[in-house]
Structure 1
Amino acid sequence: MNEHIIKAPTGSKLSCKGWIQEAALRMLMNNLDPDVAENPNELIVYGGSGKAARNWESFNAIVESLKKLENDETLLVQSGKPVGIFKTHENAPKVIISNS
């Protein structure tokens, strides 16, 4: 089994192109911190089945998408997988999540 240790960045240095994107990234990563996640290696954050992403490939794609997301763009995540980045505007939501 591959062990994934996820720790969110801290402090005032940005990993993303803006603080709103950075907040989404840090919240996602904090959900998988071994100190709080139920089963972080399986991406399960709570309740035995609540996952932070569909799989590790999708998790990594979400992280990379957040890091490159511009201030006038929105990331769409569908069923735990990033499906697109759309040009919107600075006041639009940075991430929209849809689960079926």
Structure 2
Amino acid sequence: MREIHAKKGLDIECKGWEQEAVLRMLYNNLDPEVAEHPEGLVVYGGIGKAVRNWKAFEAIENTLRDLEANETMLVQSGKSVAVFKTHEEAPRVLISNSVLVPEWANWDHFNELDKKGPLCMVR
């Protein structure tokens, strides 16, 4: 585990400000002054994680640093799953989290999946 702090200033780590903005939002969510349990990646609400796990955090972080202005990263349930060539007017990041169909959209099923690790409850 590492301690994450919100970044400020004009120096950027990414290839553009759109990518940098997403990275800074991620850092801000996990800053100890903001996050409920930053060591567990929990932003608030006891289970609301920013990302699935630390490996996924590092993958998202590295992908954002390398993401070009004509690419879009897809994040599914707290994990980077793809980067697509798009165009400069397209979103830099698309995110889908905790999508359960009504038949299984209950806490018992969610907790079962959460233990297995295939999803990320983001609030």
TM-score, normalised to structure 1, is 0.95
Question: Which of these residues, 40, 43, 50, is aligned with residue 41 of structure 2?
Answer: 43
In 2: Cα distance, 1:14 partner to 1:39 partner: 26
Q: Following superposition, which runs of at least 4 residues in structure 1 exceed 3 angstroms of deviation?
A: none
Q: Which residue of 2 aligns with 1:10?
A: 8
1:1-100 correspondence runs (5 A): 2=1, 4-99=2-97, 100=99
Q: CA deviation at 1:8?
A: 2.9
SS at match of 2:69: coil
SS at match of 1:24: helix
TM-score, normalised to structure 2, is 0.77
The number of aligned residues is 98
Unaligned runs of 5+ in 2: 100-123
SS at match of 1:66: helix
Task: Return the structure number with greater helix share.
Answer: 2
- Residue type of the alignment partner of 1:90: E
Structure index of larger Rg:
2
Q: CA deviation at 1:38?
A: 0.2
Unaligned runs of 5+ in 1: none
In 1: Cα distance, 2:38 partner to 2:5 partner: 11
Task: Return the structure number with greater strand share.
Answer: 1
